[in-house]
Structure 1
Amino acid sequence: MSGGGPARLAAPAFVRKLKNAAIGTGCDIRLRVVAVGNPRPSLRWYRNEEQLAPREEEYGTLWIRDSKKEDAGVYTCIAENERGEAMTSAVLAIIDMEG
């Protein structure tokens, strides 16, 4: 076996995928994925197929703070590197806590 050399390139894969969730309005939720690949995949987040502005506070994490009803929808994370891409999606339901 040869030592050292460059790590083998690998297409992205999700070892932790998005899960469906439901929270009340005004709550915070952290959507979290764990993506592997070499080189490290870049992540893009979408809600209902609309790309969200990059605002990851840590790699693989999308925070939704003080949730509103319009935050509900299908969230998708796409991991991409030069070897390919992977995708995971889940539904976030927002329950109206007022009234």
Structure 2
Amino acid sequence: MHSLATSIPEQARDYPFARIGSLDRYAPDRIDFAWVNPTSDRSVIHAHARLDLKWVEVQGYSEAGTVTEVIDLVRERVRRQLVSMRGVLAHH
């Protein structure tokens, strides 16, 4: 497996960071650190994302055929976790 940092087109390099970075509106607390790493093997693109909040770490993983699709999938998985965390906190 290899990192896609150098193999994805220049105009697409900001996409993963913009999509993951926009999750802050769903977070129940401030995001101290956000990280996303798209990698690929021969036929599949993988993405790992991690957000560090003050009191918890949220992670997501996805696989897809394109960088855009894999980032959108991992973003949605992390977003759902953040939304559910907000719901839990609202009841305490």
Common topology (TM > 0.5): no
Give me the TM-score of the superposition, normalised by structure 1: 0.33
Q: Which structure has more strand as a fraction of its residues?
A: 1
Give me the TM-score of the superposition, normalised by structure 2: 0.35
Q: Which structure has more helix as a fraction of its residues?
A: 2
**Higher RCO, Cα 8 Å, sep 6+:** 1
